[in-house]
Structure 1
């Protein structure tokens, strides 16, 4: 009979595979999602395994990877499987199918290809999504060929019929595109579960084997773009702060990113150095996804002009810290004393994104104007007492790491805004 794995969403099985997991599916999970528990055989997904008779209902060690659907959505978005990309991928494949059947129809005047041609011609992405929604909500199981209910919608019939090329009739080039669509159609707090119990019992995997990590490693060996996205910043403090914020606020996405290690490499910091690093990555033809994040200040704006004439490959994204409304009237120190001014684009380094609880805690941290960049007609500013602000953040971070209940007590809006820029750098 063989041993099988099943991937389910909201308790509905969407992918069943024999002997081995699909490596691309495992990139949606992290090793921290793994669960090894004792359960009854009857607790397996009944839509896959059917009912279990009382005399067969014994205890078993179950091996699964579980995560909430909202986490899967964010992880898939990070990997580039946004709904916009999924829709485009679907339409590209659909058009290819239309062209194929059109050419076949020209070679076969008996019209035997007409049904398939009409089906793919009319199968818009939105129509497919609605049909899949019906399948998931009504929990209609796939049928064997010729065993499909007559009264089903034609698209639903195709989805639950036999498919050699497209799982659930989804027209896509990557399994993760189908998973991304399915995630949109179930409650965010429902579970996405990869159950590998059967193949673990059969000896294909050990119970303690890091299946998720090994699958990702195997994909990365052949396709480096499947590896973690590399974040480049202007300095080591940016790396420290963003890494801490990512781990605290989005732990389910932490494994999808890595940061250039300033501590060991010790490159010179600053916008100019970051420009040099970006150019070096371009010249080296690195295939990893690279995200270069600049400060939101005059120096970065001036430095980035040198990239204007450079044709960046699609795997390298360049962005800046975003504008914040809280920085539109921030205290600045100049010849006229303390004056509130909009420092977005002029002096917004990482310290100004650490939160109101740090910036307005009984002490002033004004921006001091340093110099004038004639080519841009703008001044460059820098927040004063950076070291003090950084130390306050480290204390805040330590408190939150010791008790995650502390996280919601603080203002993370600025760092969340930066991380959102990073998450959507390739949109």
Structure 2
């Protein structure tokens, strides 16, 4: 019969897989979001509690009593942040939906033309009809049907209109929900309208009970040993490498990310200059970028340059290079604070626009960090820059 891993959004069984986990789904959860508990434990998601407690009351299942269940759980708001990190923004999801729809409409029309003989009249008409119906479905139609689906908990109880949309966009099987090539598109759509506190849980109890999955000490570590089906799976579940100009930048960014995005910080890794004895600076950052490109590193890579003259000159050497899609070169942005900044130059003290001249990462910590309440700098937090 097989064993299944099942993902629930609220009470909705959104997707399942047989005899294995879905790497993209496991990759959405953090290590501390995994639980191995008694099914009656307070806090167990409703669909799991109902499923396992009801099962133990069935006399036929009594011999297979489950004393411990295994699942990942978090909120839809957390899932939304992690999907944004993977590039699943609302805009990108809308674009992906229409691209999928138009490809499928074209395919159905091609099938209608292919089966044009008298012996295939029924098949031809079916493909023509589905092509026309699908071509009229918008993202808004899909969202409306999805809202009904979440409210009802299953496809059987939605309206005929919603059922038709779900069938055309997914399929007629209960779990055929959304564009079949990428379930994360469907999950991201839910994030835009469902309650941010909606519980999202991934039940792997069946896999553990059947010994298809060994949890061990690190449940999320299953991804490290998983035999991925494609390079896309590896790419989406790997960390983003951040390259900066120096070791102080690493300390600042690590602290800022931990404070502002604590649930995403562990998805980034910083290239450690000190560990490898490599000097910092814009020129060496350019060399690192070229080295990573030459090595064909598959991870996402972000190269962050300062907003100064050194970076401007160094970036010129990257112009004309065919950088891969997984590598993004960015420079610290122009901000209002830089437009009238106290400096010390050959002519003494002066206020000037230092954007593109002398703006390092420290200047993006905010004026409350850089100055006293009277606007002057401190010895620990100097507000002026020397431009000699």
Do the structures match in fold with TM over 0.5? yes
Distance 1:217 1:263 in 2: 30
The alignment status of 1:201 with 2:209, answered yes or no, reads yes
CA offsets, 1:36-57, max 9 Å, x none?
A: 2223299651798498278459
Change (3 A) 1:236 1:217: farther
The alignment status of 1:123 with 2:169, answered yes or no, reads no
The alignment status of 1:251 with 2:265, answered yes or no, reads no
Task: Point out the more displaced range, 230-239 or 103-112.
Answer: 103-112
Task: Point out the more displaced range, 318-327 or 149-158.
Answer: 149-158
2:112 aligned residue: 105
Change (3 A) 1:239 1:369: same
CA offsets, 1:289-315, max 9 Å, x none?
A: 111000111211121112122121111
2:384 aligned residue: 367
2:31 aligned residue: 31
Aligned residues of 1:229 and 1:290 also touching (Cα < 8 A): yes
Shift of residue 216, structure 1, vs aligned partner: 5.2
Task: Point out the more displaced range, 33-42 or 301-310.
Answer: 33-42
Distance 1:367 1:207 in 2: 54
Distance 2:355 2:19 in 1: 55
Aligned residues of 2:309 and 2:357 also touching (Cα < 8 A): yes
Aligned residues of 2:149 and 2:158 also touching (Cα < 8 A): no
Change (3 A) 1:233 1:158: same
Distance 2:173 2:219 in 1: 27
Change (3 A) 1:153 1:59: closer
The alignment status of 1:238 with 2:240, answered yes or no, reads no
2:280 aligned residue: 269
Change (3 A) 1:16 1:49: farther
Distance 2:203 2:350 in 1: 61
Distance 1:104 1:123 in 2: 20
Shift of residue 175, structure 1, vs aligned partner: 2.2
Task: Point out the more displaced range, 356-365 or 325-334.
Answer: 356-365
Give the alignment's TM-score, normalised by structure 2. Answer: 0.83
1:225 aligned residue: 235
2:92 aligned residue: 85
Aligned residues of 1:141 and 1:160 also touching (Cα < 8 A): no
Task: Point out the more displaced range, 114-123 or 229-238.
Answer: 114-123
Aligned residues of 1:232 and 1:291 also touching (Cα < 8 A): yes
Shift of residue 341, structure 1, vs aligned partner: 2.6
Distance 2:105 2:2 in 1: 37
The alignment status of 1:181 with 2:189, answered yes or no, reads yes
Aligned pairs for 1:127-146 (under 5 A) are: 127-136=141-150, 138-143=151-156
The alignment status of 1:76 with 2:83, answered yes or no, reads yes
The answer for unaligned runs of 5 or more in structure 2 is none
Change (3 A) 1:119 1:190: same
Distance 2:108 2:351 in 1: 66
Question: What is the aligned length?
Answer: 365
Distance 2:291 2:356 in 1: 26
Change (3 A) 1:342 1:103: same
Secondary structure at 1:338 match in 2: strand
* Aligned Cα root-mean-square deviation (Å): 3.1
Distance 1:162 1:89 in 2: 21
Give the alignment's TM-score, normalised by structure 1. Answer: 0.76
1:40 aligned residue: 40
